[in-house]
Amino acid sequence: MSALAVPLPGFETTPKPRLAGVGQASKTVQDQWMRAHREAVAPVSRQPMWQRFAELAATWKEERGYSSSLTDVLMSPSYQRVIALGRPVVPYVLAELAARPDHWFWALATITGVNPVPERAAGNLRAMTKAWLRWGDNEGLVD
Amino acid sequence: MSQWRIKAEFPRLKRAPFFLTSPESPHYNCVAWAADDDQNVWWPHLPPLFSYWPPGVPRKEDLQTFIAAFATLGYTVCADGALEPGFEKVALFADAEGTPKHAAKQLPNGRWTSKLGLAEDIEHIIWGLEGGQYGNVVQYLKRKIPPQVASKA
């Protein structure tokens, strides 16, 4: 067997030829087991939330490039996908904010429906970060 | 990000020498930098909860609004980016649709300083940053150098 014919781990193919005496029901069970195995090995849907957020955060920083427009920065696809993760992602966004302050405020406000930043602090990253981390602490969302 | 990435985004910088003059920082953007503010992100973003914009100036992403924002600092429109003793200048960039995308500030040596989004500052010639994602310079502004700045120079 050539190297190219060796199945990748988690992507084993159905054994061929079919074994004698193996019925359709057992084949269905086998197919379902193999599909479950594949999803367990490399599932996008089963990535832990922290990992999905970390990947989207890294992609967002690539996507925004050198854009000076805050509107463009916040409307980038990965940033919007973070918002789509909903309430479960909030503790990870707050942890990222504490470690590496960045413009996560639109996402946090959209997900939570609150904005703890005083109007006079709008645009000031340090003050906005401080306000959100205080809010997260009060909500029990910050370690 | 790297100089290679900067040159990829702004192809003219391959032929126009530029220098990185700061590390990356999300604390301020180009408009803030041109307005001598490195503590806030300036943009007429709506809702007005996430960025600074001069009070009383509409939050609209058009050229007149950006001119009005710099007018609060004493800038008025001018014809070009030539170095004029006693004055400092700002260049506003816009894309083909006329949407403002960038602001740069002239240095006392006649070159320009730009904050590239939320990344680094660079020193460059104005032509070097045109023709890329910021579009081209569509308006120059100038004001008399404030006395406290002039006395430092």
Q: What pLDDT score was predicted for residue B146?
A: 78
Confidence of residue A118 (pLDDT cuts 50, 70, 90): very high
* Nearest chain A residue (CA) to B102: A68
Cβ separation of A69 and B101 shorter than 8 Å? Answer: yes
Q: What is the pLDDT of residues A83-111, one digit of tens each?
A: 999 999 999 999 999 999 999 999 999 99
* Nearest chain B residue (CA) to A116: B49
Nearest 5 degrees, angle CA A79-CA A83-CA A89?
110
Q: What is the pLDDT of residues A19-75, one digit of tens each?
A: 566 777 887 888 788 878 766 766 666 789 999 999 999 999 999 999 989 999 999
**A119 pLDDT above the threshold of 60:** yes
**A6 pLDDT above the threshold of 80:** no
pTM metric for this prediction: 0.82
Per-residue pLDDT of chain B in tens (153 residues, 90 and over written 9): 678 889 999 999 999 999 999 999 999 999 999 999 999 999 998 888 899 999 999 999 999 999 999 999 999 999 999 999 999 999 999 999 999 999 999 999 999 999 999 999 999 999 999 999 999 999 999 999 977 665 544
Decide if the complex's ipTM is over 0.95: no
Q: Cβ(B35)–Cβ(B15) under 8 Å?
A: no
Closest Cβ opposite residue B101 in set A68, A101, A128: A68
Query: What residue segments make up the domains of chain A, in order of their start?
Result: 23-138
**A126 pLDDT above the threshold of 90:** yes
Q: What pLDDT score was predicted for residue A4?
A: 46
User: What is the least distance, in Å, from the CA of A52 to any CA of chain B?
Assistant: 22
Cβ separation of A125 and B26 shorter than 8 Å? Answer: yes
SS3 A33: helix
A112-121 long-range contacts, CB within 8 A, separation 24+: A112/A87, A115/B49, A117/B49, A119/B48, A119/B49
Select the residue from B18, B20, B39, B50 to test the A interface by mutation, using most A Cβ atoms within 10 A: B50
User: What is the least distance, in Å, from the CA of A88 to any CA of chain B?
Assistant: 22
The closest alpha carbon to A95, from A122, A58, A67, A129, belongs to A129
The closest alpha carbon to B126, from B140, B112, B136, B110, belongs to B112
Closest Cβ opposite residue B117 in set A66, A115, A123: A66
**A127 pLDDT above the threshold of 50:** yes
Phi, then psi, of B107 in degrees rounded to 5: -95, 160
User: What is the least distance, in Å, from the CA of A65 to any CA of chain B?
Assistant: 7
Q: Name, in order, each residue with C-beta under 8 angstroms of B9's C-beta and a sequence gap of 6 or more.
A: A65, A66, B132, B133
User: What is the least distance, in Å, from the CA of B140 to any CA of chain A?
Assistant: 18
Phi, then psi, of B87 in degrees rounded to 5: -125, 150
Closest Cβ opposite residue B26 in set A67, A74, A101: A101
Closest Cβ opposite residue B118 in set A64, A109, A117: A64
Q: Centre a 10 Å sphere on the Cβ of residue A50 and count the other Cβ atoms it contains.
A: 13
Q: What pLDDT score was predicted for residue A1?
A: 42
Peptide bond just before B58 cis, omega within 30 deg: no
B134: tokens are 């910021």
Q: Which residues of B touch A122 (CB under 8 A)?
A: 48-52
Query: What residue segments make up the domains of chain B, in order of their start?
Result: 3-150
